[in-house]
A and B are shown apart, each in its own frame.
Chain A
Amino acid sequence: GQNIDQPTEMTATEGAIVQINCTYQTSGFNGLFWYQQHAGEAPTFLSYNVLDGLEEKGRFSSFLSRSKGYSYLLLKELQMKDSASYLCAVRDQGTGANNLFFGTGTRLTVIP
Chain B
Amino acid sequence: EAGVTQFPSHSVIEKGQTVTLRCDPISGHDNLYWYRRVMGKEIKFLLHFVKESKQDESGMPNNRFLAERTGGTYSTLKVQPAELEDSGVYFCASSQGTGGVDTQYFGPGTRLTVL
Contacts and interface: CB of A to CB of B under 8 A. Distances in A.
- A, B bound: yes
Rank and list the top 7 A-B pairs by shortest CB-CB distance, nearest first.
Answer: A96-B56, A99-B45, A102-B43, A42-B106, A42-B108, A43-B106, A104-B42
Given A31-B101, A35-B106, A95-B58, A101 B45 contact: yes
A42 B109 contact: yes
Contact of B103 (A48, A50, A95, A103): A48
Nearest to B41: A104
A40 interface: yes
Contacts of B48: 96-99
Interface of B: 3-4, 31, 33, 35, 40-45, 48, 50, 55-56, 58-59, 91, 95, 97, 101-109
A45 B93 CA distance: 11
B55 A96 contact: yes
Contacts of B4: 42
B91 A96 contact: no
Nearest to A49: B101
Contacts of B41: 104
A48 B100 CA distance: 10
A105 B104 CA distance: 17
Contacts of B102: 98
A44 interface: yes
* B42, B97, B101: residue with the most chain A Cβ atoms closer than 10 Å: B42
19 contacts: A33-B104, A35-B106, A42-B4, A43-B91, A43-B106, A89-B43, A95-B58, A96-B45, A96-B55, A96-B56, A97-B48, A97-B50, A97-B56, A98-B48, A98-B95, A98-B102, A99-B33, A100-B43, A104-B42
Contacts of A102: 35, 42-44
A40 B108 contact: yes
B104 A100 contact: yes
A22 B100 CA distance: 22
